[in-house]
Chains A and B, each alone.
Chain A
């Protein structure tokens, strides 16, 4: 059976005109069909949607750390917790950065073990969450808790401990990792002095939420110098760009006997990711006294002593590097 000649010619003409396009469309369509079939066969199981996003910073929901940082953090914490759970403190200690070992734990593995046992008194499970990222530091919050699934919280309470773990890229392209909320150690070496007193701010230990300054004070007189005895509030404060912040310990007392030299540690609440920078330490109520009844004396006595003071002044020591 043959098609009528006219129809055959028409079809032939049509194919001549559109054949290539038709061929191309068929090839594309078949390819899509095959790819679709292939992908259908290799469908992966859908992962439940949860609020768990360990790579997204808590402090900034738009900020997501790179895969390299996340993997480094996850690999470190797995080995670290594993070592701690097995009581291999020397191994865990060797994993953390040199600065953290030196300044946070005084290069003392026993001090480190004591700290670990406070956080993980028994073998723990853990979770990590990127917390914030600032000034080249990737700060993670690590949560330690019991294997609750294995106990169902039978005869136990829901509790956990946390610490900040901090990653910083080193010159080798890998990461130095610190635990115990340690961020960095800074040499300050900033000095202010007058005829009565010399104040030398030597260094600063920066932890996630605090800054602790080591300060040496030298009394150059034969009098008693009271730097802080809580006669008024915030006799020592940390000057930020827009506010003054008192010491962590509101009962800080600094009193120097004649010609005495003492070194104190002054801690202030200061979050590394608050986008502010410490400017100076202000000692606002320094008194040079002939007589001093002591820190515990009442305010009337203190007032009388101040009225008879040799001198009163304040000192401001820059700490911004």
Chain B
């Protein structure tokens, strides 16, 4: 059979098929892009500090977390570590001892606060409900950061009534940290 006599495929069908494929790919790509900008990355397990039963929309909570992480990424190393300590102190002010306790280093907990009750008792006795924090020094030793700070009772504390305290922080990732403090 000569080449000329071979039946050639209908080019219009091929063309239409190609156009449809390209169109579909473009649609998929645009839809992925739009979805990606709206959808938050959700790893499948809930972050420990999100209250599922709080009635808050999960997407809003996760978006807040992502926004916090983005903010942390733009901060300097020192600002981030101070942010973590401030976050911990705010949990104490709010009496959210469960989440505050969860941020403590495991060995530290074994050494000083084997139960949450002990931790709560210590905090109730040694920390006020509103605190002024003054960060005075900052050092890095290997993977951990040491922070020196003075905390003052914002309501009842006199000008020189500040208590000096050390925090030791280890940052495992953005917004993923563990800490300990001088429980003298």
Q: B-contacting residues of A (Cβ < 8 Å)?
A: 2-3, 8, 11-12, 15, 22, 26, 29-30, 33, 45-52, 125-127, 143, 145, 147-155, 158, 160
Contact = CB atoms under 8 A, between A and B. Distances in A.
A16 B77 CA distance: 60
A273 to B, nearest CB: 23
A22 B18 contact: yes
Interface string B24-49: 01000100000000000000000000
Given A12-B11, A149-B179, 9 more contacts: A15-B15, A33-B29, A52-B140, A147-B107, A148-B141, A150-B180, A153-B182, A154-B181, A155-B182
Contacts of B108: 149-152
A15 B11 contact: yes
A143 B142 contact: yes
A26 B22 contact: yes
A149 B172 CA distance: 13
Interface of B: 11-12, 14-15, 18, 21-22, 25, 29, 72-73, 77, 80, 105, 107-108, 111-112, 139-144, 146, 166-168, 170-171, 173-174, 178-184
A11 B15 contact: yes
B79 to A, nearest CB: 12
B142 A145 contact: yes
* Secondary structure call for the A interface: mixed
Contact of A152 (B11, B80, B140, B167): B167
18 contacts: A8-B12, A11-B11, A15-B15, A26-B22, A46-B174, A47-B173, A48-B77, A49-B77, A50-B77, A50-B171, A51-B140, A143-B142, A145-B142, A147-B107, A148-B168, A150-B105, A151-B108, A151-B168
Contacts of B25: 29-30, 33
Contacts of B80: 48
Contacts of B21: 26
Nearest to A2: B12
Given A154-B112, A154-B184, A149 B12 contact: no
A3 B179 CA distance: 73
A48 B112 contact: no
A2 B12 CA distance: 9
A15 to B, nearest CB: 6
B8 to A, nearest CB: 10
Contacts of A45: 173
Given A149-B168, A152-B166, A155-B184, A15 B14 contact: yes
A149 B105 contact: yes
Contact of B171 (A8, A48, A158): A48
Given A11-B12, A15-B14, A48 B168 contact: no
Q: What are the 6 A-B residue pairs with the smallest beta carbon separation, nearest first?
A: A127-B142, A152-B180, A150-B107, A153-B166, A152-B181, A148-B168
Contacts of B173: 45-48
B113 to A, nearest CB: 10
A127 B183 contact: no
B146 A153 contact: yes
Contacts of B178: 149
Contacts of A153: 146, 166, 168, 182
A8 B11 CA distance: 8
Contacts of B11: 8, 11-12, 15
A131 to B, nearest CB: 15
Contacts of A2: 12
Given A149-B105, A149-B178, A26 B18 contact: yes
B142 to A, nearest CB: 3
Which of A29, A149, A153 has most chain B Cβ within 10 Å? A149
A141 B142 CA distance: 12
